[in-house]
Amino acid sequence: MDIPNFVIQDKGAISREFLKRELFTFVEACSFIQNMAYGRNTDKNDLLTLFVENKGTCSTKHGLLKQLAFENGDANVKLFLGIFKMGPLNTSKVSETLAKHNLDYIPEAHTYLKYNNCYFDFTRKGSSPDDFTSDLLMEVEIQPYEISEKKIEIHRAYLNQWLNDNKGILYSLEEIWAIREQCIRDLAE
């Protein structure tokens, strides 16, 4: 199943930004976003920041694409937040940090698109749903305005439950969050 390839209409601020860049279809927009650098944005609540900073994360990139689909009347493109087992096999750049803290994996939040129950990941060049779907622990549909505070709330609640269920992991929620932050820095390098 392919992502829909609708023609982008001048129906909102995000649509206009793609049209300014002579990107006229949703597939062209997805490719543009996937090839954009990976990095945290200064304001996750303003999706137009991606066009200024020429970078984005899984949250801001997919939130932007979901909003583009919404502006153009395609309600079948869904934004999802999943929690997956981030470990050395699916995310090699975090191997050293996890080994240093004696962790096999850490539950990580990932944002992606679904269309007709098929997964799409435009986080970075070469990224694919195969990178995380086999390690998916849970998922929930969200809206672009929920990629900041709500995403963190869901992720921290999951981590807290994970720590409660795994008494052998002797880290507090704040310590696990700090280890996770180091993993995210590892990914940005």
Who wins on pLDDT, 39 or 27?
Answer: 27
Return the exposure string of 123-149: e unless at least 16 CB atoms fall within 10 Å of the residue's CB, then b.
Answer: bbeebebebbbebeeebeebebebbee
**In the structure, what pLDDT confidence band is assigned to residue 189 with cuts at 50, 70 and 90?**
confident
pLDDT > 90? residue 42: yes
What is the band of 173 on the pLDDT scale with cuts at 50, 70, 90? very high
pLDDT of residue 188 exceeding 90: no
Say how many CA atoms lie within 13 Å of 23 toward its Cβ.
18
On the question of pLDDT at 179 being above 90, the answer is: yes
d(CA 73, CA 26): 12
Is the distance from CB of 67 to CB of 117 less than 8 angstroms? no
Residue by residue, what is the 3-state secondary structure of the chain? Answer: CCCCCCECCCCCHHHHHHHHCCCCEHHHHHHHHHHCEECCCCCCCCCCHHHHHCEECHHHHHHHHHHHHHHCCCCCEEEEEEEEEECCCCCHHHHHHHHHCCCCCEEEEEEEEEECCEEECCCCCCCCHHHCHHHEEEEEEECHHHCCHHHHHHHHHHHHHHHHHCCCCCCCHHHHHHHHHHHHHHHHC
Query: Where exactly are the structural domains of the chain?
Result: 13-71, 80-188
pLDDT at 137 over 90: yes
Among 42-46, 59-63, 130-134, 185-189, name the most confident range.
59-63
CA–CA separation, 21 and 153 (whole Å): 35
Local confidence band at 136 (pLDDT 50, 70, 90 cut-offs): very high
Task: Work out the pLDDT band at 187, boundaries 50, 70, 90.
Answer: confident
81-120 pLDDT tens trace = 999 999 998 889 999 999 999 999 999 999 999 999 999 9
Q: How high does pLDDT run on average in the chain?
A: 95
Mean pLDDT, residues 24-50 taken together:
94
Residue 1 reports pLDDT greater than 70: no
Count how many Cα atoms sit within 13 Å of the Cα of residue 178 in the half-sphere of its side chain: 6
Instruction: Look at the chain and count its residues.
Output: 189
Average pLDDT over residues 150-166: 96
